Chain A
Amino acid sequence: MKWSIRPSGAAAVAIALLLPAAARAQKQITKKAPPSSLMLLTQEETPVSLTVVSLPDGAPLLGSQGGWTLDLGRVSYAGIPATPNVAIERSSGSFVVSTEFGLMIRDPRQHPRTVSLLVFLEPVQSRVAIRIDGVTLQAAPQLLAAHIPTRVVTRHRLEIEIPASLAEDEKLVVNGIELSVVPD
């Protein structure tokens, strides 16, 4: 989105209606100020976009802009994961399935900036614990990281802790890891 003060146009007309004196003043400025001065008044608010990307040592990633799926395949406490780049750590009473994925924040602005990454879970999973970079996901948005540079792929670790009591052969689908980026 781009906003700029132009010497003429609908915006100027509206202002003239609201502030007749100001409109006259602007008219005066338009006459005197060089074009370069007008450019200084330009205010840009360009949107960033978020993309989940697969990593060479991460689990296969499916999907497109706005929605992606990481398929971890068949996992078990004692077995070896069938899906490449999926790891299992065992502890008493549960096991943790993990993999890596990347995030790319695209930013059309000329000058690089940083963003904050928020994450939350919708709906909340009560049977398993889901963590990204060690942060356990909840219904409320949580700050995962701040000052993330745009235009580079950042690396993140997904972990799902599965209790030994979970029923066998259950297809576990966590369908609501919501990621949100906010420019710093």
Chain B
Amino acid sequence: MKRLCFVALPVLLGLLTPQGANAQTTATGTLTVSAVVNSSISLVFNSDPSGVALGGSGTAAATLTFGNVQAFGGTLAPGVVRTNGTDNFTVTSGVDVLVKKSNSNSPKYTLTAQLSTNDSTNTWTVGGVTVTSGSPAQISANGLYSSNVNFPVGITIPNSENAGTINNVINYTATAN
């Protein structure tokens, strides 16, 4: 009888073990995530192969440095093209504009540009269109998304202008059509 006691204990344990004791207890929860996806477009400037290498190429805040320019003679920076007029000269450089869209059905974009600061002496152009500080000038009404489009930037400088530095900022705006 005494021996049976030691045998019986494990048997008892086995019978009293809950049915699912070997299957591990779990806890669960459900996580829901919600968001609203808005359409958007982005604009960056890229160096055009034919133009001046931009500072900050690939970003939305690039710098175009023409370097030293003069009406006649001298050496122009790579990518700068000079044309002489009757009483002025123009320097231009290719600048690529890349507009991308996301979550949008828009087929094309409209591009405008505006000078940040008024310049009553020199004439500024983007893609051949004169831009001023007065109001945005439409550069393109049918811009292609996801494609580098060269809109050359030009400055027409009167020959009568004194030598000095010319600075300005051109603000570009792309709007989905």
Binding site for B on A (CB under 8 A): 1, 3, 5, 11, 15, 18-19, 21-22, 24-26, 28-29, 41, 43, 45-52, 63, 65-79, 95, 97, 101, 105, 130, 158, 160, 162, 164-183
> What are 28 A-B interface contacts by the 8 Å CB criterion?
A3-B17, A5-B12, A5-B13, A11-B16, A15-B15, A26-B8, A28-B2, A29-B8, A43-B13, A43-B17, A43-B18, A48-B25, A48-B26, A51-B29, A69-B33, A74-B35, A76-B39, A79-B38, A162-B103, A164-B103, A168-B103, A171-B34, A172-B34, A175-B33, A177-B32, A178-B29, A181-B26, A182-B25
Residue of B nearest to A46 (CB): B25
**Which 7 pairs from chain A and chain B are nearest by CB?**
A77-B102, A168-B39, A25-B8, A78-B40, A76-B40, A72-B35, A164-B102
Q: Identify which of B2, B21, B31 contacts A179 (C-beta below 8 A).
A: B31
Q: How far is the CA of A15 from the CA of B24 in the complex (A)?
A: 25
Whether, in the assembled complex, B163 has its beta carbon less than 8 Å from a beta carbon of chain A, the answer is no
B36 and A179 within 8 A (CB): no
Question: Inside 8 A of A72's CB, which chain B residues have their CB?
Answer: 33-35
B26 and A182 within 8 A (CB): yes
B38 and A74 within 8 A (CB): yes
B25 and A18 within 8 A (CB): no
A26 and B12 within 8 A (CB): yes
Question: Inside 8 A of A167's CB, which chain B residues have their CB?
Answer: 37, 103, 105
Question: Inside 8 A of B17's CB, which chain A residues have their CB?
Answer: 3, 43
Please report the number of residue pairs spanning A and B whose Cβ atoms sit closer than 8 angstroms. Answer: 189
Whether, in the assembled complex, B166 has its beta carbon less than 8 Å from a beta carbon of chain A, the answer is no
B8 and A19 within 8 A (CB): yes
Question: Inside 8 A of A22's CB, which chain B residues have their CB?
Answer: 4, 8, 11-12
Binding site for A on B (CB under 8 A): 1-2, 4-5, 7-9, 11-13, 15-18, 20-21, 24-42, 100-105
B41 and A78 within 8 A (CB): yes
B32 and A67 within 8 A (CB): yes
Q: Identify which of B2, B33, B39 contacts A70 (C-beta below 8 A).
A: B33
Most chain A Cβ neighbours within 10 Å, of B21, B25, B37: B37
Residue of B nearest to A127 (CB): B37
B39 and A169 within 8 A (CB): yes
Q: How far is the CA of A112 from the CA of B101 in the complex (A)?
A: 52
Closest Cβ of chain B: how far from A175's Cβ, in Å? 5
A21 and B37 within 8 A (CB): no
Q: Identify which of A69, A78, A182 contacts B24 (C-beta below 8 A).
A: A182
Question: Inside 8 A of A1's CB, which chain B residues have their CB?
Answer: 18
Residue of B nearest to A156 (CB): B31
Q: How far is the CA of A163 from the CA of B5 in the complex (A)?
A: 70
Instruction: Known pairs A21-B8, A50-B29, A74-B36; list 15 more (Cβ under 8 Å).
Output: A25-B1, A25-B9, A29-B8, A66-B28, A68-B29, A70-B31, A77-B100, A165-B103, A166-B37, A169-B36, A170-B36, A171-B36, A172-B36, A177-B33, A179-B28
